[in-house]
Chain A
């Protein structure tokens, strides 16, 4: 292994080391993402990069000409987000070489998700790659790594059935609703935010027989589009607080930078329906529902971290599948690394590579 040359790296933070409060600060909204791309697009020494930005992680996959280029990327990101660099250094994940591939395969397969084996992440990784392609920030290394990672993730999912009976965010939400209401045939569901996760949640509620479905989105057109798809009704976004009392289940997944449902709104709603439970599922980051709402009687609030805990309780039962999946991933990661190493393995710092995956031992 040479001491200089392009390096495949990963820099970022995820739910593994970063609590919800800090992830909120690190999250890149669509507008912020566009602005940030403008800043790092011309960063010296950064040959290729793709940004995976989800509720649970902000991760930069890239090829850098030197360690200094990675440091510059980190400084830019912290400066852009107003995040203390030393704080970021404490929570960050920074690896290079084969560990990047290994991590990407685990992420794509859902093994690194809060909801073990969940499907959404696969689409999110594809979307991150597509976005990078569109911006022209990926080159020969990342193209190969991402495309092969997708193939490997699909194989792992099929081979291990890791997603079978899996707890997606949407299904966990529906199961929780059943724990509160017993059955959903009379339950009125309000989806606030008409993004992908909202759509999946709507599908899950509909497939389990929810009584009625209403969609509210900042863009009324998008809300109406989704409402038409599901035979639901649309509600103007600004009417949400005033109409809360009419619903039993409120699923929030907006990209709003502030709370959409405030404690006062819930208090007013519960005055109109004191004996009926009101269930909030906050899938958004930053959070859409003020945490104080959970203190109200007959009101139940679950956020992303809460849903993850429920999934965690099922983790043990899936241990065998996970173990099999990890074995498959290790083999595929090593194989893929051997393919890309000549293009990006020259500058891998030994300190960033675990002994088990040192490239020199795999060739």
Chain B
């Protein structure tokens, strides 16, 4: 589009996310709110990311989830979609700041490591739309868990501010702790439902073609799913709350991100440079 490659658009997106993060940091230092301008900059970045991923999708003839670069881009995109909806609905101040930080890290980081985009899997989804849907759902749930990790960080900061009586400065922009808990619970529930749906869709394929199943990938995915399910169960029953719940969500997201490597391993690959139509 406009003669620019998919990666150029994605660089633009990363730049806008970084700009939003810088604006948020400057505003916090001046102890001022930046919600409106930050939302606008993030939205422009999101538009650029959409164009970049759209071009990449046209080039690969499907959802661009064929390598680590694409997975990180899609995870950032999922988190940003949720922020643009949740941020507007719940008016969670500072969520945009943290989301732009996460999105900037994921997008710029994945763009800065060429090896992550040097090759991509061929026939990753076996030409099956359901498997593609499964992968997209699974990664979208990772986006939800990313946002959950961010709201968990905000919960810990708010909890710290309330427990230690530091309520002025940047802490003044944090949402109420009850709001953070509620949004965290909803994100946790939504993430588990999405991941369950992803596994359900995928299992139809795996049952029919067990020879295609990568055991380490399957076990890792199920372990992450079970872990989030357990956290949700413990939260609902009131046995895992407050700081422990927040830390669990943060650590679990780190583990989930790390689990992408085994999930993304051992496939036939093709150099990305051969994607001639990616502009």
Contacts and interface: CB of A to CB of B under 8 A. Distances in A.
Contact of A275 (B158, B162, B175, B235): B235
Contacts of B43: none
Contact of A294 (B163, B176, B178, B179): B163
A135 B99 CA distance: 66
Interface string A265-308: 00000000011110000000000000000100110101000100
Contacts of A298: 241-242
B243 A297 contact: yes
A274 B238 contact: yes
Contacts of B243: 297
Interface in A286-332: 294, 297-298, 300, 302, 306, 309-310, 313
Contact of B167 (A275, A276, A294, A310): A310
Given A181-B176, A182-B179, A275 B241 contact: yes
Contacts of A309: 165
Contacts, number: 46
A313 B168 contact: yes
A179 B167 contact: yes
B176 A179 contact: yes
Contacts of A182: 175-176, 178-179
Nearest to B169: A313
A185 to B, nearest CB: 12
Interface size class of B (residues with CB under 8 A): 10 to 19
Contacts of B163: 294, 300
Given A310-B167, A313-B167, A313-B168, A180 B244 contact: no
B156 to A, nearest CB: 12
Contacts of A313: 167-168
B181 interface: yes
Contacts of A130: none
A183 B168 CA distance: 19
A337 B238 CA distance: 64
Interface residues of A, number: 20
A154 to B, nearest CB: 31
Nearest to A274: B238
A1 interface: no
B165 A306 contact: yes
A125 B235 CA distance: 51
Contacts of B168: 310, 313
B177 interface: yes
A310 B167 CA distance: 7
A276 B181 CA distance: 9
B239 interface: yes
**Which of B175, B178, B239, B242: most chain A CB closer than 10 A?**
B178
A297 B235 CA distance: 14
Interface string A168-182: 000000001011111
Nearest to B235: A275
Interface string B170-199: 000001111101000000000000000000
Q: Which 3 A-B pairs have the closest CB atoms?
A: A182-B176, A274-B238, A297-B242
27 contacts: A179-B158, A179-B162, A179-B167, A180-B162, A180-B177, A181-B176, A181-B178, A182-B175, A182-B176, A182-B179, A275-B241, A276-B178, A277-B178, A277-B181, A294-B163, A297-B241, A297-B244, A298-B241, A298-B242, A300-B162, A300-B163, A306-B165, A309-B165, A310-B165, A310-B168, A313-B167, A313-B168
